[in-house]
A and B are shown apart, each in its own frame.
Chain A
Amino acid sequence: AQTVTQSQPEMSVQEAETVTLSCTYDTSENNYYLFWYKQPPSRQMILVIRQEAYKQQNATENRFSVNFQKAAKSFSLKISDSQLGDTAMYFCAFMSSNTGNQFYFGTGTSLTVIP
């Protein structure tokens, strides 16, 4: 079974600064996808960024980027130039390419951006 671990329950960052959220996972599979989802206080989960395991290049989406270390099974999210609207719960998620019918989520990191 796949497991996803987020070891930082809460984090805070000053507006305009950079913050990194950590995620590790455990799997015996070689082909999979990793995701970061954001859940603002309004509750709707929104995709932030995704990474295919077969791609060595780290994914980037504007101010969001990942550091994907496949051998270490690590998938951290870096948020640059933090904005007040980045305040939310952030969930790391794993999906197998073989089955793909379910996502495995971590317990989340609550990020607060301080003005």
Chain B
Amino acid sequence: DAGVTQSPTHLIKTRGQHVTLRCSPISGHKSVSWYQQVLGQGPQFIFQYYEKEERGRGNFPDRFSARQFPNYSSELNVNALLLGDSALYLCATRTGPNTGELFFGEGSRLTVL
């Protein structure tokens, strides 16, 4: 079975631009979460979606948004990019909204210049 897949794996943007990151969950996983991992830090929670509804939001500005599609895949959008948005963005999925461990993708490495 395929694991959690994320795209793109690497991307470079300039300040002020917009970025869209994509995630496909493991088959049968209906919950998708997004985490930001800045170099040298642990992952920080951004969003959780379950059955296309937002179930949780971390302490991130409104420039960050996400959505989940009927096939349970998800997109993370970041507008008006800042240098501080440079990070590894991790998608994590699981079967339900609040049980079980998270299964992670390899991440999307975003560099903002």
Residue contact A99 to B106, C-beta cutoff 8 Å: no
The residues of B with any CB-CB pair to A shorter than 8 Å are 3, 33, 35, 40-45, 48, 55-56, 58, 88, 90, 92, 97-99, 101-107
Given contacts A100-B97, A101-B55, contact A106 B104 (CB under 8 A): no
Q: With an 8 A cutoff between CB atoms, is A42 at the interface?
A: yes
Contacts of A35 on B, CB cut-off 8 Å? 101
Dominant SS among interface residues on chain A: loop
16 contacts between A and B (CB under 8 A): A4-B42, A42-B106, A44-B106, A45-B43, A47-B102, A47-B103, A91-B42, A97-B98, A100-B97, A101-B48, A101-B55, A101-B98, A102-B58, A103-B35, A107-B41, A108-B41
- The distance in angstroms between the C-alpha atoms of A97 and B98, with both chains bound, is 7
Residue contact B88 to A43, C-beta cutoff 8 Å: yes
Chain A residue with the shortest CB-CB distance to B88: A43
Residue contact B33 to A102, C-beta cutoff 8 Å: yes
Residue contact A105 to B56, C-beta cutoff 8 Å: no
Residue contact A43 to B42, C-beta cutoff 8 Å: no
Residue contact B42 to A102, C-beta cutoff 8 Å: no
Q: How large is the interface on A (under 10, 10 to 19, 20 to 34, 35 or more residues)?
A: 20 to 34
Q: How far is the CB of A21 from chain B (nearest CB, A)?
A: 13
Residue contact B98 to A108, C-beta cutoff 8 Å: no
Given contacts A43-B107, A99-B98, A100-B99, contact A105 B48 (CB under 8 A): no
Residue contact A91 to B99, C-beta cutoff 8 Å: no
Chain A residue with the shortest CB-CB distance to B103: A47
Q: How far is the CB of A102 from chain B (nearest CB, A)?
A: 4
Among A4, A42, A100, A105, the one with the most B-chain Cβ atoms within 10 Å of its Cβ is A100
Residue contact B104 to A99, C-beta cutoff 8 Å: no
